[in-house]
Amino acid sequence: GAGPTPTPTPTPTGPYVALGDSYTAGLKIAPQVGEPRGCSRSGVNYPALVAKGLDLAPGQFRDVSCSGARTGDLTGPQQTDGGANPAQLDALTQATRLVTLGIGGNDAGFMQVITECAKDTLVGAVKGLVGDGQADAPCRTHYSSGGTDQLQARVDAAGRQVGTVLQEIRRRSPQARVYVVGYPELLPGDPESCRPTLGATIAPADLGFLVEKERQLNGMLKQRAEAAGAVFVDIAGPSAGHDMCAGEDARWVEPPFPARGLAPVHPNAKGQEAVAAAVLKAVRG
């Protein structure tokens, strides 16, 4: 006969602590709230929307995410233009029941990689003009010089740090349910669709390279979450078709030349709402 129906896990009611970088904080999305101001936290970022969706009282929610954060800033203070953000993990207590973690992109240097790819494309174009030849994927060539995949090495190193952080979260808040939040798709699978937005800023073959590396980053986060007994919240899937090269009405991530007042290559308010929806769906099970 059929076994007993498993008892559903109740949705956590807090206390909830949100940890993470600028993709969590909501860089430049109004209204900017909290201290230090250099963390650029938005009052409508996904942690705030998750807390609202769970009807948490103000004292049951702490958002300590900070723009520019790396894994090291979870265990030590982070200096910002507006003062120091205390070690993010210090917000955790034995009473904490819900934790979201969005980190790893800065450890892998993803924003710097995009900048480097644009620079390499420009250098390659100049070399082509003077007859030195131009590689189809100058950025991929740059990051694989010497026969080593430098970005994979960065992602692997970030993975080890994320694994350590997840162990520490479990130690400090053993009864908390932990959700590792992935990154949204920055670019579409078809690089040609980016030409109207990016023009010749990055070589088409290098756009494919960036897509590949972001998938590796999200894959690492999923693996580390599962190994630590945490839940991975996939954002790449839901964000397909809402990348920086989608139209202004459709995109969840701003392009290098963003809408007025927003941060380039970062989620906009619609992106934060979409991430909140994905997190709430995972939390409610």
Burial class from Cβ neighbours inside 10 Å (0-12, 13-18, 19+) for residue 256 reads: middle
DSSP string, 49-86: HHHHHTT--GGGEEE---TT--THHHHS-EEETTEEEP
Ramachandran area for residue 96 (φ above 0: left; ψ -120 to 50: alpha; else beta): beta
Under DSSP, the state recorded for 146 is G
Residue 124 has, within 13 A of its CA and on its CB side, a CA count of 22
Q: CA 247, 266, 62: angle at the middle one, nearest 5?
A: 130
Please check whether residue 99 is in contact with residue 167, taking contact to mean a CB–CB distance below 8 angstroms: no
The SS3 call for residue 223 is helix
Report the alpha-carbon distance of residue 137 to residue 102 in Å, rounded: 30
Active site residues: 22, 266
Report the alpha-carbon distance of residue 232 to residue 224 in Å, rounded: 9
